[in-house]
């Protein structure tokens, strides 16, 4: 492995000059800077950015990136991260992207410029600098942990649930209570977890010998409003479904509202299963059957992972898959099914 001592020898400069060129190139005389950069190129030297970060003075500050802080699912994870961070002596800074790449890149630059020590990413976007280094086959430019999603080709710690298996469980539950015309309202398909939940839906349908009809798969954006509008479209179909699996609870609540606005009943006319088990789901009308994600464990695990990286401790697991759980309430019709069988 090429070291900065090798670079210094090739360029005919001191190790300190090489180090300064890597950190503060503007502070190095052009001739020496050019010699160092030429040696780096010739010897194909790749700085270990995370190791450099670990050697620098730390601020004991972590940035947590969320797509939307108002989303209760992300708020619960952030709360758990904050609890563990306080225990470990870190400050937590929140960055909300609202789906905008430039916002995410701004927060990532705070880490690469040493304003903060590491990044916990809850959304589906990756910082541009991370994507560029992965594409170039270089090490990560910052300590980074992914919570909720993982990305092919990105070698960094992550904590997730099995979204395929969880969605499959939700749809199998609807099949078990007697539904056969099952639709789904997906989240944004740019998210890997949304693609996985759609795969789980298809898997359950295929295994049961059921085929989704045209129009039964409708895109949403995880908001209540998108669940409402998607459900209205489903209700207008000539072959109307009798059940719907929603990729999150907020869309499920919007779907419930649309069904009731049309004078239909839940679960009589339409059974519903959501995803996340947000607290308000238990108080919906009727209470929402859903898949529970362990938000406390997601946040705690992510925070302990980033702490281990910053203190150069070995991670017991690079990839952690947490357990999900089906929470059965009235919206799916399970109680009515049991009553009718007595």
Domain map of the chain by residue range?
4-47, 61-160+295-323, 163-293+326-341
Residue 317's pLDDT is what?
A: 87
What does residue 37 show for φ and ψ, rounded to 5 degrees? Answer: -65, -35
Confidence (pLDDT) at 28? 85
Q: Give the pLDDT confidence score for residue 312 in this predicted structure.
A: 81
Residue 301: the pLDDT is 96
Three-state secondary structure along the chain?
Answer: CCCHHHHHHHHCCCHHHHHHHHHCHHHCCHHHHHHHHHHHHHHCCCCCHHHHHHHCCCCCEEEEEECCCCCHHHHHHHHHHHHHHHHHCCEEEEEECCCCHHHHHHHHHHHHCCCCCEEEECCCCCCHHHHHHHHCCCCCCCCEEEECCCCCCCCCCEEEECHHHHHHHHHHHHHHCCCCCEEEEECCCCCHHHHHHHHHHHHHHHHCCCCCCCCCEEECCCCHHHHHHHHHHHHCCCCCCCEEEECCHHHHHHHHHHHHHCCCCCCCCCEEECCECCHHHHHCCCCCEEEECCHHHHHHHHHHHHHHHHCCCCCCCCEEEECCEEECCHHHCHHHHHHHHC
Same fold, 61-160+295-323 and 163-293+326-341: yes
Tokens of 267: 């679960």
Per CATH, domain 4-47 is 1.10.390.10: no
- In CATH terms, the fold of domain 163-293+326-341 is Rossmann fold (3.40.50)
pLDDT at 50: 47
Rounded to whole angstroms, the Cα distance separating 298 from 81 reads: 8
Do the beta carbons of residue 81 and residue 63 sit within 8 Å?
A: no
pLDDT at 45: 80
Per-residue pLDDT of the chain (342 residues; tens, 9 = 90+): 678 888 889 999 988 788 778 777 777 889 998 999 999 888 888 665 545 544 444 568 999 999 988 889 999 999 999 999 999 999 999 999 988 999 999 999 888 888 899 999 998 889 998 888 878 878 888 899 999 888 877 888 999 999 999 999 999 999 999 999 999 999 998 888 999 999 999 999 999 999 999 899 999 999 999 999 999 999 999 999 999 999 999 999 999 999 999 999 999 999 999 999 999 999 999 999 999 999 999 999 999 999 999 888 888 888 999 999 999 999 999 876 655 554
**Which pLDDT belongs to residue 80?**
96
Tokens of 4: 């900065």
Pick the CATH number of 61-160+295-323 from 3.30.450.20, 3.40.50.300, 3.40.50.2300, 3.40.50.2020: 3.40.50.2300
What pLDDT, in 10s, does the model give residues 81-98? Answer: 999 999 999 999 999 998
């Amino acid at each position: 492995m090429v070291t900065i001592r090798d670079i210094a020898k090739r360029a005919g400069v001191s190790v300190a000059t090489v180090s300064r060129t890597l950190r503060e190139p503007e502070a190095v005389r052009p001739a020496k800077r050019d010699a160092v950069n030429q040696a780096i190129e010739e010897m194909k030297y790749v700085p270990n950015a995370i190791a450099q970060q670990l050697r620098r003075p730390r601020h004991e500050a972590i940035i947590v990136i969320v797509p939307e802080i108002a989303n209760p699912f992300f708020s619960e994870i952030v709360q758990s991260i904050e609890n563990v961070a306080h225990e470990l002596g870190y400050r937590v800074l929140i960055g909300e992207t609202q789906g905008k790449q430039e916002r995410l890149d701004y927060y990532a630059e705070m880490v690469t410029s040493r304003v903060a020590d590491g990044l916990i990413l809850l959304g589906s976007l990756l910082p541009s600098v991370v994507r560029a280094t992965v594409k170039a086959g270089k090490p990560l430019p910052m300590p980074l942990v992914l919570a909720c999603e993982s990305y092919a080709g990105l070698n960094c710690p992550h904590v997730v649930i099995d979204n395929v298996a969880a969605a499959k469980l939700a749809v199998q539950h609807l099949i078990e209570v007697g539904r056969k015309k099952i639709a789904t309202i997906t989240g944004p398909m740019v998210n890997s977890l949304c693609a996985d939940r759609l795969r789980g839906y298809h898997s359950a349908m295929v295994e049961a010998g059921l085929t989704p009809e045209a129009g039964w798969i409708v895109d949403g954006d995880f908001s209540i409003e998108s669940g409402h509008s998607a459900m209205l479209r489903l209700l207008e179909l000539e072959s109307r479904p009798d059940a719907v699996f929603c990729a999150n609870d907020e869309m499920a609540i919007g779907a419930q509202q649309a069904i009731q606005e049309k004078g239909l009943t839940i679960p009589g006319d339409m059974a519903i299963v959501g995803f996340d088990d947000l607290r308000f789901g238990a108080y919906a009308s009727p209470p929402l059957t859903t898949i529970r994600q362990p938000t406390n464990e997601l946040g705690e695990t992510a925070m302990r992972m980033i702490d281990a990286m910053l203190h150069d401790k070995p991670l017991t697991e690079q990839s952690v898959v947490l357990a999900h759980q089906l929470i059965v309430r009235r919206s799916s019709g399970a109680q009515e099914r049991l009553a009718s069988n007595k």
